């Protein structure tokens, strides 16, 4: 960082090196690193709710120095915030939407969530088809094979498309 971005003035003590799974623990506010187990992620009991507002977007051109200064000014205005910048590369637009179900291709998406307690395919497909393009049904079918009980679920997770013959028939009639 010192060689590539000397203007940031970063020093070793400003940075944390960790594995991806440790970063999951870190951003969840859980203990991580030597002496701590990732088994805490398996604890599905009730935990204190932590709410935050997050947005994702992709830049199509390099951010100018003036733009970066504006970002830092905004970051410093907030009392408790963080920003994650993932260098995913500039080739996403070259990959067909049918090849991989990666939704982040053009602009910021905020298309909705599953209703609380309702994780049905027919409800989720309203936002899921917009979010995952033509890949939503295929992803729901895969979820039905690998997680038919929908153990891994959230407000924006893909519900399993399995054992829902009546619902599939209803979808065919629509």
Where a domain ends, among 77, 92, 107? Answer: 92
Does residue 104 share a domain with residue 33?
Answer: no
Does residue 121 share a domain with residue 164?
Answer: yes
Does residue 163 share a domain with residue 138?
Answer: yes
* Structural domain boundaries enclosing 33: 12-92
Nearest to 110 by CA among 63, 66, 55: 55
Q: What percent of the chain stands above pLDDT 70?
A: 72
Where a domain ends, among 72, 92, 112? Answer: 92
Q: What is the pLDDT of residues 83-142, one digit of tens each?
A: 777 766 666 667 776 776 665 555 475 566 666 666 788 888 888 887 777 788 888 999
Average pLDDT, the chain: 77
Q: What are the tokens at 117? A: 């307690």
DSSP H or E run through 129: helix 121-132
Where a domain ends, among 76, 92, 108? Answer: 92
Least confident of 65-69, 126-130, 164-168: 164-168
Q: What is the pLDDT of residue 66?
A: 94
Q: Per the structure, how many domains does the chain have?
A: 2
Which has the higher per-residue pLDDT, 103 or 5?
5
Does residue 36 share a domain with residue 81?
Answer: yes
Q: Would you say residue 1 lies in a domain?
A: no
Q: Report, as residue numbers or ranges, the catalytic residues.
A: 104
Does residue 168 share a domain with residue 105?
Answer: yes
Q: What is the pLDDT of residue 32?
A: 84
Query: Is residue 169 predicted with pLDDT exceeding 50?
Result: no
Angle at 41 between CA 35 and CA 47, to 5 degrees: 110
Other beta carbons within 10 angstroms of residue 22's beta carbon come to 16
Q: What is the pLDDT of residue 163?
A: 65
As a residue count, the chain comes to: 174
Does residue 83 share a domain with residue 16?
Answer: yes
Does residue 86 share a domain with residue 32?
Answer: yes
Q: What percent of the chain stands above pLDDT 90?
A: 4
Does residue 134 share a domain with residue 68?
Answer: no
């Amino acid at each position: 960082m010192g060689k590539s971005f000397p203007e940031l003035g970063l020093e070793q003590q400003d940075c944390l090196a960790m594995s991806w799974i440790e970063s999951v623990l870190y951003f969840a506010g859980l203990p991580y690193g030597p002496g701590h187990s990732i088994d805490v992620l398996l604890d599905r009991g009730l935990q204190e709710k932590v709410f935050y507002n997050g947005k994702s977007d992709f830049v199509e051109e390099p951010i100018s120095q003036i733009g970066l200064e504006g970002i830092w000014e905004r970051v410093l205005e907030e009392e408790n915030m963080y920003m994650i910048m993932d260098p995913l590369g500039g080739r996403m637009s070259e990959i067909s939407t049918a090849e991989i179900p990666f939704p982040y291709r053009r602009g910021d998406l905020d298309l909705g969530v599953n209703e609380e307690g309702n994780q049905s395919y027919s409800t989720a497909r309203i936002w899921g088809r917009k979010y995952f393009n033509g890949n939503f049904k295929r992803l729901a079918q895969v979820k039905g094979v690998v997680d038919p009980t929908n153990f891994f679920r959230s407000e924006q997770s893909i519900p399993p498309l399995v054992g829902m013959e009546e619902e599939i028939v209803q979808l065919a009639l629509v």
